[in-house]
Each structure stands twice: as C-alpha cells, then as structure tokens.
Amino acid sequence: MTVRSGSPAHDIAVIVNGTERRARVIPRLLLADVLREEWGLTGTHLGCEHGACGACTVLLDGEPTHSCLVFAVQADGGRVDTVEGLAGDGPGLHPLQEAFRTRHALQCGFCTPGILMTLVAYLRLHPAPSEPEIRETLSGNLCRCTGYQHIVQAALDAAATGRAAAASA
C-alpha cells in the first residue's frame, strides 16, 4: 500500500493503543487498511466496507468509528484504539471480554471486535444501561451467529461489574 499510480504520499503518525505508529500512505488508503496491512493489527475486521455492519469499529479519539469509512490520513495526529489494546498489557481479559466469554456472546468471532469497541465506548458514558438501551446501541453492529441475546446479557453483566468496581474503589 505504498505509493502507486502517481498518488502523492502523506506521512502520518497515529497513537495506536498507546504507542505511536507511523506510515507513508496514499490519500485514499482506508484507516482499516493501514491498521491491518501496514501495522499488522488484524483484529479489526472488514465485513461490508460500506459502513453498515460495524465489524471494523475502532475508537478514533475515543469515538466509535467505522474504520472502513475513514481515510488513514484523517487519523493523522489522532489516537486510535483497537481490540488488541482492550485488555491492556496484562495477560487477562478486559471485564467486557470476560463477560463475553462467560455468556458465550461470540461464535465465529468476526463481528466481535467491532461490538466490543462499540460497547466499551458506550459503557464508559452509560454505566447503568437498560436492556433496550443496549440493544439500541448494538443496532449498528451486525452479528449473524448469536442472535444477540448473549451479547446483550454480557453487556449488562459487564456494566454491573463496572459499577461494582466503581463502588468499591
């Protein structure tokens, strides 16, 4: 994905999961492609490439964003968080990931990274969501395997875990 077809190149620098990454990219290179192909962060998946399935959702400056609809150059100077950074440096899982495992909230796992990033951002702002609110939040993420029921339960569990942790802190 280096320079081709006479396109001008741009040097970009992005803080990805807390670490600065650099690349020289053509203007139309998608954020998803630079993450996956240049930086090897293949946890972000492409399901539809037209902004409808949500599998490619990452956090761009904290906001859930379809990385298939954003050019890499638009992330220059910004911060991107992907599923690879969710659990931090430790060996364990993030509480939301843990809840997904306990509730069997994933099957093929392809949509899962986008759903995790969508929910992480939501739960940060809404620590005590109702089931309909969780379902509404998930309505931009397609999952073909689970029927969503276990995902909703996992999100509610993770919210409760988060509240308990906040109360004891």
Strands 63-66 vs 10-16: parallel, antiparallel or unpaired:
unpaired
Encoded one letter per residue, x for contact with other proteins by CB under 8 A and - for no contact, window 78-117 reads ----xxx-xx-----x---x--xxx-x-xxxxxxxx--x-
What lies within 8 Å, CB to CB, of 117 at 6+ separation is 57, 58, 59, 64, 81, 82, 83, 86
Minimum gap (Å) between residue 34 Cβ and other proteins: 12
Among 12, 44, 80, 159, binds other proteins (CB under 8 A): 44
Number of residues that bind other proteins (CB under 8 A): 61
SS3 label, residue 3? coil
The 79-81 sheet, strands edge to edge: 19-25, 10-16, 79-81, 57-60, 63-66
What residues line the site for other proteins (CB under 8 A)? Answer: 1, 4-6, 26, 28-29, 36-37, 40-50, 52-53, 55, 82-84, 86-87, 93, 97, 100-102, 104, 106-113, 116, 134-136, 138-152
